A and B are shown apart, each in its own frame.
Chain A
Amino acid sequence: MDPISLALLCLAAPLAAAVVGALLWRKSRHVDLVSIAAQAVGAAASLAVALGAAAPVARSIPWLSFPGARITFSLGIQLDALSVPMLLVVQFLSLGVLVFSRWYLGDDRFYGRFFASFSFFVFAMSMVVVAPGLLQAFIGWELVGLGSYLLIGYWHDKAPASEDPEYQAGKPFHATGVNEAKLNPAMAQLKAFVVNRVGDFGFLSGLAMLAWLVSSLPGFTGGDPLAWTTLFVAAGSVAASKVAFLGFTGAALLTLAGLLVFLGAMGKSAQFPFHVWLPEAMQGPTTASAIIHAATMVAAGVFLTARIYPLLTPDALVAIQWVGAVTAFVAATIACVQWDYKAVLAYSTISQLGYMMLGLGAGAAAGGYGAGVSHLYTHAIFKCMLFLGAASVIHALHGVQDLGRMGGLARKMPFTAIATGIGTLAILGVPGFSAFWSKDAILAAAQAKMVLAQAHGAGVMAAKIPWILGMATAALTAFYMSRQWLVAFVGKPRDRHLWEHAHDPDKPSIAVLMVLALFSLQFVWTGSVNPFASGSWLDGVLQSPMAVGELPEELAHHIHASTMGWTIALFFLGSGAAFWLYVTNPLRGGSAATWLRRDPPTNLVWKFLANLWFVDKALDLVFAEGIGRRGGELVAKADLGSGLSVDGTVDTAASLVRWTGRFANLFQTGRSLAYAGWTLLALFGALALLLL
Chain B
Amino acid sequence: MLLFWPMVAVVLAGGAGAVFARNLVYAALSLGVCLAGLAGLYLFLQAEYVAVIQMIVYVGGILILILFGVMFSRDVLGRATPPSLGARILGGFAATAVLASAGRLAWLVSSLEGTGLSTTRTPTSTWQGQIATDAKFHLGRLLLDGWLVPFLVVAVLLTVVLLAALGLVRKDAT
**A contact residues vs B (CB 8 Å cutoff):** 673, 677, 680-681, 684-685, 687-688, 690-692
Contact with B100, one of A673, A680, A681, A692 (Cβ below 8 angstroms): A692
Q: A684-B93, A684-B94, A692-B101 are in contact. List 16 more A-B contacts (CB 8 A).
A: A673-B87, A677-B86, A677-B90, A680-B90, A680-B94, A681-B90, A681-B93, A681-B94, A684-B97, A684-B98, A685-B97, A688-B97, A690-B101, A691-B101, A691-B104, A692-B100
A692 close to B104 (CB less than 8 A):
yes
A677 contact set on B, CB distance < 8 A? 86-87, 90
B105 contact set on A, CB distance < 8 A? 691
- The CA-CA distance from A447 to B107 in the complex, in Å, is 96
Contacts A680-B94, A681-B93, A681-B94 hold; do A688 and B101 have CB atoms under 8 A apart?
yes
- The CA-CA distance from A691 to B101 in the complex, in Å, is 6
A673 contact set on B, CB distance < 8 A? 87
B-side binding surface: helix, strand, loop or mixed?
helix
A680 contact set on B, CB distance < 8 A? 90, 94
- The CA-CA distance from A692 to B101 in the complex, in Å, is 7
**B106 CB → nearest A CB, Å:** 11
A687 contact set on B, CB distance < 8 A? 97-98, 101
- The CA-CA distance from A684 to B104 in the complex, in Å, is 14
Chain B interface residue count, Cβ-Cβ cutoff 8 angstroms: 11
Residue of chain B at shortest CB distance from A685: B97
**A152 CB → nearest B CB, Å:** 50
**B148 CB → nearest A CB, Å:** 32
Residue of chain A at shortest CB distance from B95: A684
B104 contact set on A, CB distance < 8 A? 691-692
Name the residue among B94, B100, B105 with the largest chain A CB count within 10 angstroms: B94
Residue of chain A at shortest CB distance from B83: A673
- The CA-CA distance from A692 to B108 in the complex, in Å, is 11
**A119 CB → nearest B CB, Å:** 40
- The CA-CA distance from A462 to B147 in the complex, in Å, is 83
**B81 CB → nearest A CB, Å:** 12
- The CA-CA distance from A66 to B13 in the complex, in Å, is 66
**B60 CB → nearest A CB, Å:** 28
- The CA-CA distance from A677 to B98 in the complex, in Å, is 15
**B19 CB → nearest A CB, Å:** 14
A692 contact set on B, CB distance < 8 A? 100-101, 104
**A484 CB → nearest B CB, Å:** 68
User: What are 22 A-B residue pairs whose CB atoms fall within 8 Å in the complex?
Assistant: A673-B87, A677-B86, A677-B87, A677-B90, A680-B90, A680-B94, A681-B93, A681-B94, A684-B93, A684-B94, A684-B98, A684-B101, A687-B97, A687-B101, A688-B97, A688-B100, A690-B101, A691-B101, A691-B104, A691-B105, A692-B100, A692-B104
- The CA-CA distance from A673 to B90 in the complex, in Å, is 11
Q: Which of B3-55 contact A (CB under 8 A)?
A: none
- The CA-CA distance from A26 to B107 in the complex, in Å, is 66
B86 contact set on A, CB distance < 8 A? 677
Produce 1/0 per residue, B75-109, CB < 8 A to A: 00000000000110010011001101100110000
- The CA-CA distance from A691 to B105 in the complex, in Å, is 7
**B104 CB → nearest A CB, Å:** 5
A685 contact set on B, CB distance < 8 A? 97
Residue of chain A at shortest CB distance from B86: A677
- The CA-CA distance from A680 to B98 in the complex, in Å, is 11
B90 contact set on A, CB distance < 8 A? 677, 680-681
- The CA-CA distance from A680 to B104 in the complex, in Å, is 19
B97 contact set on A, CB distance < 8 A? 684-685, 687-688
B98 contact set on A, CB distance < 8 A? 684, 687
- The CA-CA distance from A688 to B86 in the complex, in Å, is 20
A684 contact set on B, CB distance < 8 A? 93-94, 97-98, 101
Report, nearest first, the 4 A-B pairs whose CB atoms are least far apart.
Answer: A684-B97, A688-B97, A691-B101, A691-B104
- The CA-CA distance from A264 to B100 in the complex, in Å, is 69
Name the residue among B87, B90, B98 with the largest chain A CB count within 10 angstroms: B90
Produce 1/0 per residue, B136-152, CB < 8 A to A: 00000000000000000
B87 contact set on A, CB distance < 8 A? 673, 677
Residue of chain A at shortest CB distance from B104: A691
Name the residue among B86, B94, B97, B104 with the largest chain A CB count within 10 angstroms: B97
- The CA-CA distance from A684 to B105 in the complex, in Å, is 14
- The CA-CA distance from A680 to B92 in the complex, in Å, is 11
**B109 CB → nearest A CB, Å:** 12
A688 contact set on B, CB distance < 8 A? 97, 100-101
- The CA-CA distance from A183 to B66 in the complex, in Å, is 72
Residue of chain B at shortest CB distance from A688: B97
**A299 CB → nearest B CB, Å:** 57
**A688 CB → nearest B CB, Å:** 4
**A6 CB → nearest B CB, Å:** 42
Residue of chain A at shortest CB distance from B97: A684
- The CA-CA distance from A680 to B86 in the complex, in Å, is 13
Produce 1/0 per residue, B97-124, CB < 8 A to A: 1101100110000000000000000000
Residue of chain B at shortest CB distance from A680: B94
